[in-house]
Amino acid sequence: MESPVVFILFLATLTFTDLAHSQTLYASKNPVAVGSSVTLSSNVTSGGWLFNGHLIVITLNKTYDISSTWKDRVTFNTNTSSLTINPVTLKDSGSYVLENLVDGSFSQLTLLVEEPIQSVMIKNKTIPINTKNLTLTCEVVGPYDTIYWMKDNTKLNTNTSSNGPSMSYQIKNNMLLFTPVTLNSEGAYQCVATNKAGYRVSLQYNLLVNYGPLNVTISSASVSMAMTLICTADSRPVCVFYWFFNNLSTPLQKGPMIVFPKTTPNMGTYICQAQNALTNETMYKYFTVTAHAPAIHFPYQGSLMMMVLFAFSAPVLFN
């Protein structure tokens, strides 16, 4: 179970010396998260430990006494001359001084407290559409110093914009701007926020770009007395197809395939309309059927049999 709010202690050491002796007061970890423990150590066996001028522990010849205000969070090890605070709290920020009772020398250690980052999340308020601008926002709870972005576990340049042929983006403050977003922009994105307390990484945001319809094509097959036209297109999401005939404004049929008898009234121009409602894009493809339209020969007998069965089972659109 995670601790509630966690803070980090930053420790900077400043040593005072007298004419005869010098000593160093140092911390076991730097930085140290509030809620965990920190051990302050020195080579002084007889001395007074103070925090912001108030006594924590006094030790003399392997004996010691802990102040009543620290008893519930402080332990002292006479063998190592070390003081452990557990758990560390926000109020433990300040100046720690160890005075040597033998020679009067001092060591000082300053603990600086900073709240860590609690959460990082990527937000997007618009639908990613090919060749349109897109902005991803890194939302951070807690103070942060820097933010950087990663794509597919590789750090993106945070100082300059990229306008290469593969992907065009800019990083401004806590935003990743695609100008525009393209299929090359697809990937797994993460936002990393840092401060002196450490860093936190967002969950992956899998960017999928909607596009199309592109590359609309019509293929044909003629089996016996039936003609089959099949319309395809590259699109995300899958587009919707409508078939039109000559100058008729009303579609003959909805769907990627149309089947009709090879009779004279059915000769003419067939139009496949491919629509992507999400991208709001529409494309058309034209196919002219004549009395001498060649038949398509399938490379496999199984494919031919399937087309024959479908052609004779499909509804006839024209009389």
Which of 24, 1, 29 lies closest to 97, judged by CA? 24
Percent of the chain with pLDDT over 70: 81
pLDDT recorded at residue 82: 93
pTM for the predicted model, two decimal places: 0.70
Phi, psi of 276 (to 5 degrees): -115, 105
Which of 284, 220, 218 lies closest to 251, judged by CA? 284
Model confidence pLDDT, tens digit, residues 86-142: 998 889 988 999 999 988 899 999 887 778 889 999 999 999 999 999 999 999 998
Model confidence pLDDT, tens digit, residues 159-202: 555 555 567 899 999 999 999 999 999 999 999 999 887 889 99
Q: Is there a contact between 59 and 79 (Cβ–Cβ < 8 Å)?
A: no
pLDDT recorded at residue 52: 93
pLDDT recorded at residue 21: 42
For range 48-73, the mean pLDDT: 94
pLDDT recorded at residue 20: 36
Which of 7, 157, 16 lies closest to 90, judged by CA? 7
pLDDT band at 5; cut points 50, 70, 90: very low
pLDDT recorded at residue 158: 64
